[in-house]
Amino acid sequence: MRELHFITSNSGKYAEVSSILSSKGIPMVQRDIGCPEIQADTLEEVVTFCLDWLGSKEGAYLIDDSGLFIDALGGFPGVYSAYVFKTLGLSGILRLMEGVPDDERTAYFETVFGIGLGAEKLVFRGKCEGRISHEVRGEEGFGYDPIFIPDAGDGRTFGEMSMAEKNAISHRGKAIKNMMENANRIIEMLNQS
Amino acid sequence: MRELHFITSNSGKYAEVSSILSSKGIPMVQRDIGCPEIQADTLEEVVTFCLDWLGSKEGAYLIDDSGLFIDALGGFPGVYSAYVFKTLGLSGILRLMEGVPDDERTAYFETVFGIGLGAEKLVFRGKCEGRISHEVRGEEGFGYDPIFIPDAGDGRTFGEMSMAEKNAISHRGKAIKNMMENANRIIEMLNQS
The band of A59, judged by pLDDT with boundaries at 50, 70 and 90, is confident
CATH of the domain at A132: 3.90.950.10
pLDDT surpasses 70 at A57: no
pLDDT surpasses 70 at B44: yes
Checking A140-147 for CB contacts under 8 A at 24+ apart, the result is A140/A166, A141/A166, A143/A68, A143/A81, A143/A82, A143/A85, A144/A68, A144/A81, A144/A85, A144/A90, A144/A93, A144/A109, A146/A90, A147/A90, A147/A93, A147/A94
Enclosing domain of residue A73: 4-191
- CA B49 to mean position of chain CA atoms: 16
Alpha carbons B7 and A95: distance in angstroms, whole number:
37
Active site residue B65: yes
pLDDT number for residue B57 = 63
B101 at the A interface (CB within 8 A)?
no
pLDDT surpasses 80 at A70: yes
Q: How far is A114 from chain B (nearest CA, A)?
A: 18
Residue B79 half-sphere exposure toward CB, CA atoms < 13 A: 19
Number of domains present in the structure of chain A: 1
pLDDT surpasses 90 at B193: no
Query: Number of Cβ pairs closer than 8 Å across A and B?
Result: 54
- How many other C-beta atoms lie within 10 A of the C-beta of residue B178? 15
CA distances from B107 to A89, B35, B110, B156 (A): 19, 28, 10, 15
Residue among A38, A76, A86 whose CB faces B37 most closely = A38
Q: Are A150 and A129 in contact (CB under 8 A)?
A: yes
Using an 8 Å CB-CB cutoff, list chain B residues near A39. 37-39, 79-80, 83
Query: Which pLDDT tens digit goes with each residue over B81-131?
Result: 999 999 999 999 999 999 999 999 999 999 999 999 988 999 999 999 999
Query: Which pLDDT tens digit goes with each residue over B159-192?
Result: 999 999 999 999 999 999 999 999 999 999 999 8
pLDDT surpasses 90 at A110: yes
B52 at the A interface (CB within 8 A)?
no
Mean pLDDT computed over A57-71: 91
pLDDT number for residue A40 = 93
The band of A12, judged by pLDDT with boundaries at 50, 70 and 90, is confident
Mean pLDDT computed over A100-113: 98
pLDDT number for residue A180 = 95
Residue among A49, A80, A95 whose CB faces B80 most closely = A80
Residue among A74, A80, A96 whose CB faces B39 most closely = A80
Alpha carbons B30 and B73: distance in angstroms, whole number:
36
pLDDT number for residue B119 = 86
Residue among A38, A39, A87 whose CB faces B74 most closely = A87
SS3 A177: helix
Contact A73 B79 (CB under 8 A): no
A98 at the B interface (CB within 8 A)?
yes
Chain A nearest-CA residue for B74: A87
Q: Name the A residues in 77-96 with CB < 8 Å from any B CB.
A: 78-80, 83-84, 86-88, 92, 95-96
pLDDT surpasses 90 at B55: no
The band of A56, judged by pLDDT with boundaries at 50, 70 and 90, is low
Mean pLDDT computed over A73-78: 96
pLDDT number for residue A188 = 94
Query: Which pLDDT tens digit goes with each residue over A149-172?
Result: 999 999 999 999 999 999 999 999
B27 at the A interface (CB within 8 A)?
no
Q: What is the pTM of this model?
A: 0.88
Query: Which pLDDT tens digit goes with each residue over B141-161?
Result: 899 999 999 999 999 999 999
pLDDT number for residue B59 = 79
